[in-house]
Structure 1
Amino acid sequence: MKEEELPLFATIETDIHWAKEIIAQRCESLNGYQEDKVTEDFLLNNYPPEVAETTYYSQLITSLSDAHKVDDPAWLPVAERLLLTLTLASHVCPTLFEPFSYFQAQGIGINRVGGVKSNGLLGFIPTGETVLFLLAGENVTLRQQIIRKIFDNTHPLMRMGVISLHEVTHNLSRFHGALILSDEYYSLLVEGRPFIPAFSQSFPAQCIDTEESWDDLVVGSQTRFALEEINIWLKEKKQMMDDDHVNRKIKKGYKALFYGPSGTGKTMAASLIGKEADVPVFRIDLSLVVSKYIGETEKNLAAIFDKAENRNWVLFFDEADALFGKRTQTSSANDRYANQEVSYLLQRVENFNGLVILSSNLKANMDSAFTRRFQTMIKFPVPSEVLRKELFNRAFQGRYTIVNTELLDKVVKKYELTGAEINNIFRYCAMMTLHYGHEKVTEEIFTDGVIKELRKKGKAI
């Protein structure tokens, strides 16, 4: 969906006006203490407005409606829509809560409307109790029904991580916790764009992308066919998981292993998979994840998986051998803790409901407990002679054509170069060709570029 097609606030503003009317009606009960037993008729008489615009907000509301069951109460759309609107209003229209602030300043209804104040903030932040007051008042039966329907962890708003309740001290009801809108859904619903977390110590993962296309990935037919299987899974996973029979038989996530020498296209393939599905790919920095301190590695991994859970992200563990490698014999306490880390990884990867890609130089380095659980293991071998010739021809074009094509053929035939190494040779040749003002890549420049790359690998020339 293009950002310019999103009339971001049209539906949100309509819902805020709708919520304002409900607040005005309910605040009448605060003027004097009286029985405040809200009935289901009150909810049905305040049915939310219909949505028409094609925005992330309207799409979320539509998905909530599609998730309703036949036996759900008729007032459920009112309850979940008001919960969503109040949570959003803290970000886009905090003046919606001014009536509550007034009554609390007068000491009226303090125990009825909920709400909290943040450090240094004079305003009113709605809590779970605020929602329950507006929807049920002192109707205990209706209150419990609403709790079961919209505050249960199985409700889409909670399960998908759209909304959560701030944790409170152990002696308070959890509904005294403030309503929290996740960063991801703030970006989607308010800004109209996906949320990409910044690389940090608490989230040691970097979003990677590519300007290249599948045509630029030169791999064998077997590798290409296996990669297409992942593309198909990303396209069909929602429909598959919506099928009760499929959902009972298989886990929601997908695990893939890319293995082969460095520079053969593993990272590029992961980036292209994300580009094809229009989902972010996060490459995990294992140097920040793995810790020498006991328990810290699991903590770092938990931060990544917790943030990625229920989000449409791809997790890419590059050079994963160090973390996902074979478990050792438990001859020492350190070995036991290392094995615990692998076991923890196995559990989190197994239960992750998205796509996890592990990259390794050698399949044999991986723990067998992981390899049994991969849906696919894709080999990225050193390009064959035919593929090497194609890689060279794709790089050396136009002004950067090599003068001596026979020399090129000899290099292609004699040296097993990867795609990354061929790109390094091209980079050197393009730089030197421009520096010396040549019309094409000379034999001398090309030879120097090849020798420079082979020396890096310690190969005989």
Structure 2
Amino acid sequence: MEVIQALAQTLERELGWFQHVVDIRLKNYFSNSNTEIEALETPPNITNDASKYAKECIKHNLDPLERLVLILALIPHLKPNALDVFLIKNQNLSIDFVEFGGIRTPSKPGFLPTLETACFIVGGSQLIKRFLFLDQISLTNVLFKNGILKVNENEEFGLKMSLQVSAEYLSLFTTGEKALPEHSTSFPAKVITTQLDATALIVDDSVHNSLAEISQWVIHAPKILHEWGLKKNLKPGYSALFYGPPGTGKTLAATLLGKATERPVYRVDLSMIVSKYIGETEKNIRKLFDEAAHKNWILYFDEADALFGKRTQTKDANDKYANQEVAYLLQRIEDFSGLVILATNFYNIDDTFARRFQTMIYFAKPGKEQRKLLWKQLFESNLDLESDIDIDKLSENHELTGGEMINILRHCALEAAKRGQKTIFEKDIITGIRREFSKQNKTL
């Protein structure tokens, strides 16, 4: 509640400042005055403001012009009637004032601002102010570059473009929490999380060390690149390849990296990325990376064989386009400012791929001692075991991955639940092992 109260108080002050500036602009405009609007340069002081809105303004070092554009984009959600002043008609011509910009539709009563609206508020009819506005508020401006304001791909960037706050920041400025995008055709990725901690990942020490290095890079990259001035030598992003048999901990490792670095991990749905139609795969990759840009997300391409397998010797036009799409993905990965992880069950990567990764980590099938730890972790800590179950023997005799053991655990837990008790019988485990082996055409 305190978070929302702080937001409301800060935004009330920001709205009051905005309305004061607009009142002066309209008064000057209709009196043909070019008097400078001093209030434009003196927005509310937010230096000691603890609200999420103020913190973001300070974090991105927004100047008065950028704050005005931001609050203008928020007004349709906060106080839409504050823009009703722009609905007046030009009585001489019986039309809207085109210089006010904005979008008016019969289906949505009211005034929806465009960049033209912000340009008018800032500069009125002064050409020099218009040019200065256009120079500052471009696609490279912090508001668009960091995804605070969104760019509709169906609109050309310019003064006629609607002014919209991204869903992520609209949620942050109204609830105090960022809304993460939902899995959809336009964003084919979904947040994955885990309730486990690092002790649940039973892998070689070398794997743990490599994962720790990735985590430390993500945490310390801002200092290395910006405070130490190494951004001219090093790219901001980090790419890693996880490879090894299924069920060996690749996805768990990705989610644990998210936990350690306090970043959301998005598993990319490659079935919605890779297309048989020429040019569509590239288009889908562009959409994904454009949405994820500057968001501090971890992108996890699971079962990336679908992409690796497309790289072939060029025999016809389709091979040529497939190789172009893979090359485009590699380029977007290199340019991405965050962490990208590609996971594959098979190591079929050529040198061109390998050179693009900062780290390549092999997740091997667990050895005997690791299997013993997994059996104990999964079974002994949660359930009661029949007295004649020998964990050492199970570890010695059955080469299973952690993923396969989890499937066996599920089967055993279900059998125990059907009996109305928490005790696991040896026969349940053996049946579970047989089920896993049968998937690989193996027998026990």
Is TM-score (shorter-chain normalized) higher than 0.5?
yes
Please tell me whether the aligned partners of residues 192 and 265 of structure 2 are also in contact (alpha carbons under 8 angstroms).
yes
1:449 matched to 2:432: yes
CA displacement, residues 258-303 of structure 1 (integer Å, 9 cap, x when unaligned): 1111001111111121122222211111122211111111122222
Amino acid paired to 1:209? T
1:407–1:397: structure 2 CA closer, same or farther, 3 Å change rule? Answer: closer
SS of the aligned residue for 2:242 comes to strand
The aligned counterpart of 1:74 is none
Letter in 2 for 1:12: L
Aligned AA (1:10):
Q
**Structure 1 segment 19-418 matched on structure 2, within 5 A:** 19-32=18-31, 34=32, 36-39=33-36, 41=38, 43-44=40-41, 46-65=42-61, 77-103=63-89, 110-118=97-105, 120-149=107-136, 151-164=137-150, 174-243=158-227, 245-325=229-309, 327-363=311-347, 365-397=348-380, 400-404=383-387, 407-418=390-401
After the TM superposition, which of the residue ranges 128-137 and 226-235 deviates more from structure 2? 128-137
Deviation at 1:390, TM superposition (A): 0.5
Instruction: Give the letter for the 1:409 counterpart.
Output: D
Indicate conservation of the 8 Å contact 1:117/1:125, yes or no: yes
Contact 2:21/2:37 (8 A) holds in 1: no
Q: Distance in 1 between matches of 2:372 and 2:232?
A: 48
Distance 1:397 1:182 in 2: 47
- Native 8 Å contact 1:289 1:297 kept in 2: yes
- What is the deviation of 1:319? 0.8
**CA 1:238–1:343 in structure 2 vs 1: closer, same or farther (change >3 Å)?**
same
Larger deviation: 336-345 or 391-400? Answer: 391-400
- Seen in structure 2, the aligned counterparts of structure 1 residues 348 and 165 have a Cα distance that, compared at 3 Å, is closer
* Structure 1: gaps (5+ residues): 68-76
Q: What do residues 190-210 of structure 1 show as CA deviations (whole Å, max 9, x unaligned)?
A: 232222222122222121111
For 1:345, give the aligned amino acid.
Answer: L
Judged with a 3 Å threshold, the aligned counterparts in structure 2 of structure 1 residues 5 and 216 are, in CA distance, closer, same or farther, namely farther
How many angstroms does 1:348 deviate by? 1.3
CA displacement at 1:354 relative to structure 2: 1.3
8 Å Cα contact 2:14-2:43 kept in structure 1: no
Do 1:30 and 1:108's aligned partners in 2 also have CA atoms closer than 8 Å? no
Q: Which residue of 1 aligns with 2:402?
A: 419
Q: Post-superposition shift, 1:184?
A: 1.8
Task: Give how far 1:40 is off.
Answer: 6.6
- Give the Cα–Cα distance (whole angstroms) in 1 for the partners of residues 299 and 151 of structure 2: 27
Structure 2 CA distance for partners of 1:54 and 1:166, relative to 1, 3 Å: same
How big is each residue's C-alpha offset from its partner over 1:311-362, in whole Å with a ceiling of 9 and x where there is no partner?
1211111110121347211112221121111111111111111111000112
Alpha-carbon deviation of 1:452?
Answer: 2.4
Q: How far apart in 1 are the matches of 2:245 and 2:264?
A: 25
Is the 1:325–1:367 Cα contact (8 Å) retained in structure 2? no
- Equivalent residue, structure 1, for 2:15: 16
CA distance in 2, matches of 1:243, 1:325: 41
Matched to 2:77, the amino acid is H
Distance 1:399 1:325 in 2: 41
Give the letter aligned to residue 199 of structure 1.
H
Please state how far the C-alpha of 1:387 moved relative to its aligned partner.
1.0
Q: Which amino acid aligns with 2:264?
A: P
Q: Say if 2:416 is the partner of 1:433.
A: yes
CA distance in 2, matches of 1:168, 1:437: 58
What is the TM-score when the length of structure 2 is the normalising length?
0.92
Shift of 1:42: 5.5
Moved more, 386-395 or 436-445: 436-445
Question: 1:319·1:359 contact (CA, 8 Å) conserved in 2?
Answer: yes
Distance 2:372 2:307 in 1: 36
State the AA in 2 paired with 1:123.
G
C-alpha contact 2:404 2:436 (8 A) present in aligned 1 = yes
Q: Aligned to 1:143, what secondary structure does the other structure show?
A: helix
Q: Judge conservation of contact 2:376–2:391 (CA < 8 Å) in 1.
A: no
Of 267-276 and 135-144, more deviation after overlay is shown by: 135-144
- Structure 2 SS opposite 1:26: helix
RMSD: 2.5
Check the 8 A contact 1:48/1:78 in 2, yes or no: no
User: Is the contact between residue 38 and residue 135 of structure 1 (CA under 8 Å) also seen in structure 2?
Assistant: no
Indicate conservation of the 8 Å contact 1:346/1:369, yes or no. no
Alignment-mate amino acid for residue 122 of structure 1: P
The structure-2 alpha-carbon separation of the partners of 1:259 and 1:215, relative to structure 1 and needing over 3 Å to count, comes to same
Question: How far apart are residue 414 of structure 1 and its match?
Answer: 2.1
Q: Which residue identity does 2:123 align to in structure 1? A: A
CA contact (8 A) 1:315 1:355 kept: yes
Query: Which stretch of the first structure deviates more once superposed, 14-23 or 99-108?
Result: 99-108
Q: Is the Cα–Cα contact under 8 Å of residues 279 and 312 in structure 1 kept in the other structure?
A: yes
CA distance in structure 2 between the aligned counterparts of 1:87 and 1:182, rounded to whole angstroms: 10
In 2, Cα distance between equivalents of 1:161 and 1:198: 16
Given residue 175 of structure 1, which amino acid in structure 2 is its aligned partner?
Answer: L
Residue 34 of structure 2 aligns with an amino acid whose one-letter code is: K
With structure 1 as the length reference, what TM-score do the two structures score?
A: 0.88
State the one-letter code of the partner of 1:141.
I
What's the CA shift for 1:18? 1.0
**Structure 1 residues 377 and 180, CA, compared in 2 at 3 Å: closer, same or farther?**
same
Unaligned runs of 5+ in 2: none
SS of equivalent to 1:175: coil
* Displacement after TM superposition at 1:427 (Å): 1.7
Give, in whole Å, the separation in 1 of the partners of 2:442 and 2:154: 62
Within 1, Cα distance between the matches of 2:286 and 2:388?
53
**Change beyond 3 A, Cα 1:95–1:329:** same
Secondary structure at 2:109 match in 1 = coil
CA distance in 2, matches of 1:168, 1:25: 34
Shift of 1:224: 0.8
